[in-house]
Structure 1
Amino acid sequence: MTSAREERPRALLAGASRRWVRLLPWGVAFLLFFALLPTTIQVLGADYGLNGGIASGLAVVQTAPLLLAVVRPLRAWYMVFAADVAGALVLLAVDFEERLVWPFPPMEIVGYVGLCLALGLREPRRTLLLVWLATAGAGVGLEFAAPHGTRGNGTLLTILGAVALVLAAALRERHEAQRGLAEQKTISEAERGRRTLLEERARIARELHDVVAHHMSVITVQADTAAYRLDRLPPDVREEFTSIAATARRSLGEMRRLLGVLRNEEAHGELAPQPGLAQIGQMVEATARAGLPVEFTPCATDVPEAEALAAYRIVQEALANVVRHAPGAPTRVSVSESGSESGSESGARLTVLVVNGPPPEPPAAPLEAPLEAGGTGHGLVGMRERVRLLGGTLDAGPLPDGGFRVAAQLLLKEKDFT
C-alpha cells in the first residue's frame, strides 16, 4: 500500500495561491489533536473504565499522528489504524456498559474521518481503495467479536471513511483538472503569440520585398536601357551597365524564390539551383568591378550543396560588410578544403576566409553618402547561425591594423566513394 507520493515532504495544499488555504490543513490538524486528546483520555478512562495509563497511551497514539497527516498522511494512517484496532482489542478486557459503542468510540471516528480526508487529498485511487478495504475488513471483523451484545459501529466507520475518501479525492482531481486547463490555456496563449509574431514577420518580409523589388527593377531597367539612352558609351562602361543589370536580376530572382515560401506554405520553391562555390567567383568579380580590390582563391574540389550555399552566403555577407564599412580596402577571399588531421575525429572541413585591410585614407572611391548610416548587426548573427547548423565554427573580429577578418570552418559530411 506504499505510494511514490509518500516520500514527498510537501504539506497538503502547499501549492495553493492563498496563504489561508495553505495554513488550513495545519489548523484543522491542531484543532483535532487538542480537542480529541483530552476527550479520548476522559472517555476511555471514565466511561469505558480503562486504566489511566493505558487510556493516555492509546489517546496519544490515536491523535498525535493527525499532525503528521498534514505532510505524510499515509504514514499517519498506518499508525492511527493500528492504534484504533489495538484500542478495540484492549476494550475487550474491561467490562463496560452495553450502551457504549464498540469497537470505535465516537472520538476515534472523528479523528479517522479527518485522516481519510487528508488521504484523499494526497494519495492515488489505488491506495485509497486499499485503505477503504482495510477499514471495511477491520470494522466487519471486529463486529463479530462484540462483547455482551454491544452495538458495533464498524459499518458506520466504513461508510463515513468511504465518503471522506471519495469527497477529498474528487476535490483533488477537480483541482488538478482546473490546473491542467490553466496550464493548457497558458501554452495556447504562448503559441498564439508566437504565431502572431511569425505572421507579422512574414508580412514585413512581403512588404520589404515589394519595396526593394521596385527599386531593384528600376535599377535593372535603367542599366539595360543605358546603352540606348546614352550616346557613344565606351565599351567598358557598356559592360559595367550590363553587369549591374545582371546582378540586379539575380538578386530579384533570389528574393522571389525566398518569398515564395512565405506566400505559399505548400510551395517547395523554384527549381532554379541555389548558389554555390562556382558562383563565388562571379560575385567576387562583380564586387571588384564596383571598385573593391579583391583577391580570390577558389576551392578546387566539390562539396555538398548545404556547405557550398553556406560558404557563398558567408562570402556575400562579408564582402557586403567591406563595401559598407571599409570601401576601397584591399580584400582577400579564399575557400579551401582540408582533410582530417592525424588522430583527429573532426573529419574534412571547408574553410572560408575573408580578410580586408584598413580602408584607404581618403577612400579610393569616396561615396556621396554612406551606404548605411548604421548597421543592424544581423550579418554576423546570420553567419554564426549558418555555421552552427552545419556543425562548424566562426571566428570574426577586427585586426590590429584596422582591418577585419572572417574565418569559418564548415564540417563536411563524409563522402561516399562506393
Structure 2
Amino acid sequence: MTSVEEERPRALLAGASRRWVRLLPWGVAFVLCVALLPTTIQVLTADYGLNGGIASALAVAQATPLLLAVVRPLRAWYVIFTADVAGALALLTVDFEERLLWPFPPVGIVGYIGLCLALGLREPRRTLLLVWLATAGANVGLGFVAPHGTTAVTLLLTILGGVTLLLAAALRERYEVQRRLAEQETINEAERGRRTLLEERARIARELHDVVAHHMSVITVQADTAEYRLDELPPDVREEFTSIAATARESLGEMRRLLGVLRSEEAHGELAPQPGLTRIGQLVEATARAGMPVEFTPCDADVPEALGLSAYRIVQEALANVVRHAPGAPTRVSVSVSVSEPEPGSGSGSGSGSGSGSVAEGGARLTVLVVNGPPPEPAAGPLEEGGTGHGLVGMRERVRLAGGTLDVGPLPDGGFRVAARLPLTEKDFT
C-alpha cells in the first residue's frame, strides 16, 4: 500500500503552503476544459465547416486531457498533440476561408499553451526540448500541405509554445532554487543552534574545571604532604592520607577526560578506556577506606563496554548517595549475570518502583544491586541536606538507554535499595 502511494504523482503546485495556490492548477484546468470544449465544437463546425461528429470528437480529445495535465502533463500532451495534428489533417477535407488560421485553430492554440505551461512546471529541460521540437516539426511538416500557402501565422503555435515552455521552466527552476535556499537556511539555523550549544558546553566545562580542579588539587597536595607537615603520624593515618590523595588524583583525571569530551576536542578524553565491571572493586575499596562498611560480590563476566560503564556509574552514584545521606551505614554491592527461562504466557517484564524501560522475562541480564541499611548514628544526620536528584535521573537515563529496569526506593528498616537490570544477549558475554 505504501509503495503505491509513493508512486502516485503529485499535482502541480502541491507543495505550496497556501491552499488556494495548490487548488489553482485544478481551477485553471477546469475553466479551460469547460470553456474550450463547446467553443472548439462551435468553431470547427460553424467557421471551418467540419462535420459535427468529427468536431465533437476532436474537441473532447483536445480539451478534456487538460484535467489530466495537472497530474501527468506529459501523458496529456501525447493525447492533445495527436488530436491537434489529427484536427489539422481533418480540416484539409473541408473548404474554409483563407482568413482562418491553419493548421491549428485559435481554440486549439489556447489549450496547447495551457498544456505547455503545465509541462514547463513539471518536466525536465530535455523533455521540454523534445516537446518543442515535436511541435515545430509537426508545424513545419503540415506547412508543406497548407491549402492556402505558408505564412508566419502558421508558425504561431511553435513560437507561443516555445515561449511558454521557456517561461514555465524558468519559474519552476526559480521556485526550486528558493526552496533549496530555504532548506539550507533551516539547516544553517540548526547548525548555528548546535554550535551555540557546543560553545555553551565548552564554557561550562571550562568553569567546571576552574572551580573543581583547584580544590581537588589542593586536597591532593595536602594529603600528599601531610606526613611531612605533621609530626609522628600513625601508620593508619598516613595510609588514609595516601588513599585520599590517590582518590583525588583519580577524580581529577576522570574530570579532565570528561572535559575533553565536553569540549569536543581531539584529546584523549574520548579515546581513554572507560571504567567497567573490573573497576567496581576499586570503587568499593575507596568507599570502604572512607569508613563505610561495604560488602562486595564481584562479577567477572565479559559484558559490552557500554553496559559495563552503565553498571559502574550506577554503583558509583549509589555509593555516593550512601556516603552523603547515610554515612557509616552497612552497604552491600552485588553485580551478577543471570539467565532465566521465560515463563509460559509471560510478556515483557515491568520493574517495580521507578521502572525505566522493559526487560524480557527470559534471557540473560546483568543485575546491579546496591542496598544499604540505616545509618548507625541517625542523630548525626546526613552529610548533605536534600539533594539535586540528578543522580537518580542519570541512573534512570542510563538504564532506559540500555532497555532495562531500575528499582529504587527506601526499605522498611530505614535503608535504601537500588536495583538495576540490564538485558544481555548471548553474544554480549562469555
TM-score when scaled to structure 1? 0.80
Please state how far the C-alpha of 1:160 moved relative to its aligned partner. 2.0
Gaps of 5+ in 1: 342-347
Matched, 1:282 2:295: no
What residue is the counterpart of 2:266 in the other structure?
266
Partners of 1:351 and 1:408 within 8 A in 2: yes
Q: More displaced, 232-241 or 112-121?
A: 232-241
The change in CA–CA distance for 1:215 and 1:350 in structure 2 (over 3 A counts) is farther
Whichever residue aligns with residue 181 of structure 2, its letter is: L
The change in CA–CA distance for 1:98 and 1:116 in structure 2 (over 3 A counts) is same
What residue is the counterpart of 1:344 in the other structure?
none
Please state how far the C-alpha of 1:412 moved relative to its aligned partner. 8.8
Whichever residue aligns with residue 398 of structure 1, its letter is: G
Deviations 1:12-55 (A, max 9, x none): 22322344433433443344344434432332122211234443
What residue is the counterpart of 2:389 in the other structure?
375
Partners of 1:100 and 1:151 within 8 A in 2: no
What residue is the counterpart of 1:209 in the other structure?
209
Matched, 1:398 2:409: yes
Matched, 1:155 2:155: yes
Please state how far the C-alpha of 1:183 moved relative to its aligned partner. 0.3
Partners of 2:98 and 2:148 within 8 A in 1: yes
Please state how far the C-alpha of 1:190 moved relative to its aligned partner. 0.3
Secondary structure, aligned partner of 2:114: helix
Matched, 1:167 2:180: no
Partners of 1:6 and 1:74 within 8 A in 2: no
Matched, 1:181 2:195: no
Deviations 1:167-206 (A, max 9, x none): 2112111211111111011111101211210121121012
Query: What is the CA–CA distance in structure 1 between the aligned matches of 2:67 and 2:303, rounded to whole Å?
Result: 72
Q: More displaced, 193-202 or 83-92?
A: 83-92
Q: Which residues in structure 2 correspond to 1:326-345 (within 5 Å)?
A: 326-336=326-336
Matched, 1:294 2:294: yes
Please state how far the C-alpha of 1:148 moved relative to its aligned partner. 5.3
Matched, 1:25 2:25: yes
What residue is the counterpart of 1:97 in the other structure?
97
Query: What is the CA–CA distance in structure 2 between the aligned matches of 1:264 and 1:39, rounded to whole Å?
Result: 72
Whichever residue aligns with residue 40 of structure 2, its letter is: T
What residue is the counterpart of 1:359 in the other structure?
374
Secondary structure, aligned partner of 1:147: coil
Please state how far the C-alpha of 1:150 moved relative to its aligned partner. 6.8
Please state how far the C-alpha of 1:112 moved relative to its aligned partner. 0.5
Please state how far the C-alpha of 1:284 moved relative to its aligned partner. 1.0
Please state how far the C-alpha of 1:406 moved relative to its aligned partner. 2.8
Query: What is the CA–CA distance in structure 2 between the aligned matches of 1:364 and 1:293, rounded to whole Å?
Result: 19
Query: What is the CA–CA distance in structure 2 between the aligned matches of 1:238 and 1:42, rounded to whole Å?
Result: 114
The change in CA–CA distance for 1:170 and 1:273 in structure 2 (over 3 A counts) is closer
Q: More displaced, 215-224 or 40-49?
A: 215-224
Q: More displaced, 37-46 or 361-370?
A: 361-370
Partners of 1:113 and 1:161 within 8 A in 2: yes
The change in CA–CA distance for 1:350 and 1:55 in structure 2 (over 3 A counts) is closer
What residue is the counterpart of 2:128 in the other structure?
128
Q: More displaced, 361-370 or 165-174?
A: 361-370
The change in CA–CA distance for 1:381 and 1:303 in structure 2 (over 3 A counts) is closer
Query: What is the CA–CA distance in structure 2 between the aligned matches of 1:67 and 1:309, rounded to whole Å?
Result: 64
Query: What is the CA–CA distance in structure 2 between the aligned matches of 1:38 and 1:50, rounded to whole Å?
Result: 14
The change in CA–CA distance for 1:284 and 1:326 in structure 2 (over 3 A counts) is same
What residue is the counterpart of 2:254 in the other structure?
254
What residue is the counterpart of 2:348 in the other structure?
none
Q: Percent identity?
A: 74
Q: More displaced, 147-156 or 176-185?
A: 147-156
Query: What is the CA–CA distance in structure 1 between the aligned matches of 2:20 and 2:53, rounded to whole Å?
Result: 38
What residue is the counterpart of 1:240 in the other structure?
240
Please state how far the C-alpha of 1:276 moved relative to its aligned partner. 5.0
What residue is the counterpart of 1:14 in the other structure?
14
Q: Which residues in structure 2 correspond to 1:99-114 (within 5 Å)?
A: 99-114=99-114
Q: More displaced, 250-259 or 188-197?
A: 250-259
Whichever residue aligns with residue 406 of structure 1, its letter is: A
Query: What is the CA–CA distance in structure 1 between the aligned matches of 2:427 and 2:27, rounded to whole Å?
Result: 69
Deviations 1:234-268 (A, max 9, x none): 54444333322221122112223433455683333
Whichever residue aligns with residue 330 of structure 1, its letter is: P
Partners of 2:216 and 2:248 within 8 A in 1: yes
Q: Which of 420, 424, 428 is equivalent to 1:407? A: 420
Gaps of 5+ in 2: 342-362
Secondary structure, aligned partner of 2:378: coil
Whichever residue aligns with residue 46 of structure 1, its letter is: A
